[in-house]
Structure formats: C-alpha cells, structure tokens
Amino acid sequence: MAVTRADVAAMAKVSPAIVSYVTNGGPRPVSAGARRRVEAAIETLGYRPNGIAAALRGGTMRSIGLLMPSSTNPFFAELVEALVIEFFDRGNTLSIGVTDDDPNRESLYLHSYLDRRVDGIVVTSSRALQTLRGLRVDPVPVVVVDRVDPTEDASSVRLDNQQAAAHATEHLQGHGHEVVACIAGPWPVSNSAERVSGWRAQQLRYGAPADDTLVEHAEHSPSGGREAALALLGPKARHRTSERPAPTAILITSDTQALGVLAACAELGLRVPEDIAIASIDGASAGGYYRPSLTSVRQPVPEIARTAAAQLLDHIASPDHPVRHITLTGNLVVGASCGCPERSSI
C-alpha cells in the first residue's frame, strides 16, 4: 500500500497540512521542530509526494526535453534517473533523447522538442546549447548540465572538475606515487580539459612530471579506457623512448573508462593496485562492484538533478529569472584500486 500524507502526519504528530507545507515549501512557515519530525517521518516511511496528481488538479503540468550523450555510461544513467524523479515529483513529464554524441542526432532531437513545444530543455553540453540556438529565434528555457562552458548566457550546473581531479591525484600521491598519468575524455570536451588541468596542477604542486606525454585522450567508454591504458602502459608507450620511469598510477577522468583500464592491465599482466594504482571521477555506484573496487570522486548526482530542475522551472515561470552558474563539489569514495584496503561490503 502506498504511503500517504496522512501516514506521515500521524508519525510526525502534525496535521496533513503541515506535511504539505514542508514538501511544497509553503505557503505557511513551519517550526524547526515540526519540520524535523516531518522530514524524519518521510525518510522512515519512504513517502514521495504525488506531484503529478497535484499538477493535474492545478493544470500546471509541463513538458521537459532532456538530451543525454549515453545510456550506457553509469554516471549519465544515474543522472537521468535523478532528473526524472525531480521533474516528475514537481508535476512534469520528461522526454529523453540519447545522442551518442552525434551532432546530427542531437539536432533532430532538438527539432522534435521544439516542434512539440516543450516548456524547457536540459542539455548536457554547451555544444547542444549552440545547436539549439541555431534552430529557431523564439527562446526556450534551457539549463546546461555536466559539460558546461561558464561563459555561456544560460544557467548551468556542474561538478568542480579541477578540484575533483586534483583531489583524486593527491590521494594517489599519498600512496607514494610520483609518476601519475592521466586518461581523459575526448578533446575538446570542456570537462575533460578541466580535469586534465586539475591533474596537472596537483602534479606540479607535488613537484612531479605533468607533461603531455603522460596524458591520453579517449572516448568515454570501456573500449576507450582500454586503448588509452595500452597506449600509456604497453610495449609501445611513449615513456619507453625517454629516460622517465613508467607511470605507477593513473588518474582516469570517468568511471566508464576505468573498466577498460582494468581490462588492459589484466592483458598486460599488471596487478591493480600493486603494479599500477588507479583512481577515477564520477563515483557511480557500479564502481563498488569492480574488482578491485574503484576509488573515485563521486559527483553529487541528487544535488545536481535537484539544482538543475529548480533552475529550469524558475526560468519557465519567469523568463527574466537571472542566469546562474552553479558549481558543486564531489567527495572521494575510497575503494581498493588506489592501494587502500578492500572494503568488506559495498
């Protein structure tokens, strides 16, 4: 049986109206004590407000278009799930288009969204934003998530990519690694460049090498990670033609590439983390099931989705709503791939 607002009210010892004020942000203030009891009851019971029903009653249901580059990348899969929950609970429907980073497919999806007169669009790259602007004169509210150019005049939400890369690199350095290589996404994707910049800055702070011979760019996929790792660690690696020692650790700028890096290490007879330590960025839950489990900077996916949804709905409600660029901080999830002890549970 579905949990109702009355169930929450009974557990929190408040009226159903108070529960509504907490979940909907008003219209009346709620005391701190009552709010804590309501939030605790919501967490315990697993209550989800029925935003769609409220929207149907009020006639305020909106249609949102979402473009994502991949359905197989664990990070984007988690981000889309979080966005669906946020928009659905606020009384919106969501149409999802998977582009596979194909500009032509991207353009077709955007044409479709505009033809259907969606109320707003979430895109995951500034390139998609530029494509959208070339399709028609009439503006549509849009928010950019993940691959963000902060100079654009559209609201955006993204991870602090430089800080995330520096944090993961510093953790590898803490295990005694000096020659830390970097596997990045395709050039010139904005977040790839930012993560390389964060790796390089941390290497230089440590007094360690940070030149381009230690960087490989590849597609955000297991096959891309495998190819990049073979290029860095295999018999034809560039470092073998110089006097520099081989890398003993790698910062990988996406979890989906890390799976391919683990495969390449197995092919080369390298043990992780004994022979080569790795750390990554994204922190998707699937990383806990890699062997060894993956050390990774976790993106705050629920907060990204919540912030992006709020931004877009504010722009829909008020075309003059100010543009905001919001940068969020990730947290390091420690697995065993870096050299830390394997966790006993996931």
Q: What is the CATH number of the domain that holds 20?
A: 1.10.260.40
Least confident residue range of 44-48, 50-54, 64-68: 50-54
Same domain, 213 and 251: yes
Residue 246 DSSP label: P
Mean pLDDT to the nearest integer, 167-174: 98
For residue 239, with 0-12 CB atoms within 10 Å meaning exposed, 13-18 middle and 19 or more buried, which class applies?
Answer: middle
CA–CA separation, 316 and 298 (whole Å): 30
Closest by Cα among 45, 52, 40 to 7: 45
Same domain, 118 and 208: no
Give yes or no for residue 59 having a pLDDT over 60.
Answer: no
Quote the pLDDT of residue 149: 81
Mean pLDDT to the nearest integer, 79-103: 88
Quote the pLDDT of residue 278: 98
CA–CA separation, 340 and 171 (whole Å): 10
Residue 345 within any structural domain of the chain:
no
Q: Which residue has the tokens 């955000």?
A: 220
Is 315:141 a contact under the CB 8 Å cutoff?
yes
Give yes or no for residue 74 having a pLDDT over 80.
Answer: yes
Give yes or no for residue 253 having a pLDDT over 70.
Answer: yes
Same domain, 171 and 284: yes
**Range of the structural domain that residue 169 is part of:** 161-299
Same domain, 64 and 13: no
Quote the pLDDT of residue 145: 93
pLDDT, one tens digit per residue, over 195-226 is 999 999 999 999 999 999 999 999 999 999 99
Mean pLDDT to the nearest integer, 73-95: 89
Sheet holding 120-125, edge to edge: 92-98, 62-68, 120-125, 142-147, 155-159, 325-328
Quote the pLDDT of residue 282: 95
Distance of CA 167 to the CA centre of its chain: 16
Quote the pLDDT of residue 17: 77
Same domain, 107 and 139: yes
CATH label of the domain that carries residue 237 = 3.40.50.2300
Give yes or no for residue 122 having a pLDDT over 80.
Answer: yes
Residue 341 within any structural domain of the chain:
no
CA–CA separation, 52 and 187 (whole Å): 41
Average pLDDT of the chain, as a whole number: 88
Q: CB neighbours of 118 closer than 8 A, spacing ≥ 6? A: 63, 64, 65, 95, 140
Per-residue pLDDT band for 4 (boundaries 50, 70, 90) equals confident
Same domain, 211 and 88: no
Give yes or no for residue 48 having a pLDDT over 80.
Answer: no
Per-residue pLDDT band for 247 (boundaries 50, 70, 90) equals very high
DSSP class per residue in 97-119: EE-TT-HHHHHHHHHHHHHTT-S
Which pair of tokens denotes residue 26?
């008003």
CA–CA separation, 335 and 327 (whole Å): 25
**N residues, the chain:** 346
CA–CA separation, 151 and 145 (whole Å): 14
Quote the pLDDT of residue 26: 55
Mean pLDDT to the nearest integer, 231-247: 78
Same domain, 23 and 40: yes
Per-residue pLDDT band for 345 (boundaries 50, 70, 90) equals very low
Cα first-last separation, the chain: 30
Give yes or no for residue 339 having a pLDDT over 70.
Answer: yes
Domains held by the chain: number: 3
pLDDT, one tens digit per residue, over 282-321 is 999 889 989 999 999 999 999 999 999 999 999 998 888 8
